[in-house]
């Protein structure tokens, strides 16, 4: 084990986040290299300073699962790199002078996952950034779709102003195949009612989901794939949407896209 490897384990030890195997490797390396103890002491002191005087904060629900999902989506290795060498067993084999191969992609991936988990544990432990991280990892589908549209080269939008001063903006992209409606100042639907979205294709309205308004604002992803020339409309329907699949009221919003 070299000093860089030890530093990674020391950071995990300070956070009490090592596995049983890594804990044994860490203790063994510390015994064999007392000159590395300064790194260990520094990490312990840093963790103590960060946590001092801050009440423990429970992590937001679902944050661990969301982080692990993000890790699982990250490519784990490059197929062009050689396979990692097997883990040495004895202290003599772990010495850099013994000629043991450096850690391969799988080992580096393990350390990357550990580093991410350790950072998350530290953030939650000191109550800093946990809510913001949770919001980032659990963004609504409509917000993600809006960002995809706005990043597309063929992104388009159209805005209409309603009689009461509210505005509604349709965002869409042919390459992304999605459309999102953003409202500002739109009143909440009456009790037992909801807003329903429609693609209007020629003379045919096609149901595209329902949405509610919070404080006059809404960001709603239309269900289904938008086609060129579709208009986007909104009607007020009974809670859950029109049972017939057709509008039952006149539209309160109509946005042409052609």
Q: Which of 73, 133, 76, 125 is nearest to 104 (CA)?
A: 76
Q: Which of 195, 193, 247, 203 is nearest to 229 (CA)?
A: 203
Token pair 């390396």 is found at 29
Return the top range by mean pLDDT from 61-75, 80-94, 213-227. Answer: 213-227
CA 183 to each of CA 90, 115, 213: distance values in angstroms, whole numbers, following the listed order: 65, 40, 8
pLDDT in tens, 156-177: 999 999 999 999 999 999 999 9
- What is the C-alpha separation between 113 and 111, in angstroms, rounded? 5
pLDDT band at 26 (very low <50, low <70, confident <90, very high): confident
Q: What are the residue ranges spanned by the domains of the chain?
A: 3-137, 141-255
pLDDT at position 2 is: 83
* Model pTM score: 0.51
Kind and range of the H or E run holding 65: helix 63-72
**Which is more confidently placed, 148 or 117?**
148
**Average pLDDT value over all residues in the chain:** 77
Find the helix packing angle between 105-126 and 3-14, rounded to 10°: 30
Is the CATH number of domain 141-255 2.60.40?
Answer: yes
């Amino acid at each position: 084990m070299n000093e860089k490897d030890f530093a990674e384990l020391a950071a995990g030890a300070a956070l009490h986040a090592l596995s049983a195997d890594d804990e044994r490797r860490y203790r063994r390396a510390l015994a064999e290299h007392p000159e590395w103890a300064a790194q260990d002491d520094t990490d312990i002191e840093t963790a103590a300073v960060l946590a001092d005087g801050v009440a423990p904060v429970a992590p937001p629900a679902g944050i661990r699962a969301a982080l692990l999902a993000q890790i699982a989506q990250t490519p784990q290795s490059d197929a062009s790199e050689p396979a990692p060498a097997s883990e040495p067993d004895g202290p003599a084999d772990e010495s850099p002078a013994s000629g043991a191969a450096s850690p391969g992609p799988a080992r580096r991936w393990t350390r990357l996952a550990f580093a991410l988990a350790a950072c998350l544990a530290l953030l939650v432990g000191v109550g800093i950034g946990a809510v913001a991280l949770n919001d980032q990892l659990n963004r609504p589908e409509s917000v993600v779709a809006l960002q995809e549209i706005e990043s597309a080269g063929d992104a388009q939008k159209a805005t209409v102003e309603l009689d009461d001063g509210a505005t509604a903006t349709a965002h869409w992209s042919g390459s992304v195949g999605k459309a999102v409606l953003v409202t500002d100042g739109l009143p909440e639907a009456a009790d037992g009612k909801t807003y329903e979205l429609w693609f209007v294709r020629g003379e045919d309205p096609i149901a595209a989901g329902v949405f509610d308004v919070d404080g006059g604002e809404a960001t709603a992803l239309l269900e289904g794939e938008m086609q060129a020339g579709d208009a986007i409309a909104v009607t007020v329907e009974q809670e859950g949407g029109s049972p017939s699949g057709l509008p039952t009221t006149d539209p309160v919003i109509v946005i042409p896209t052609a």
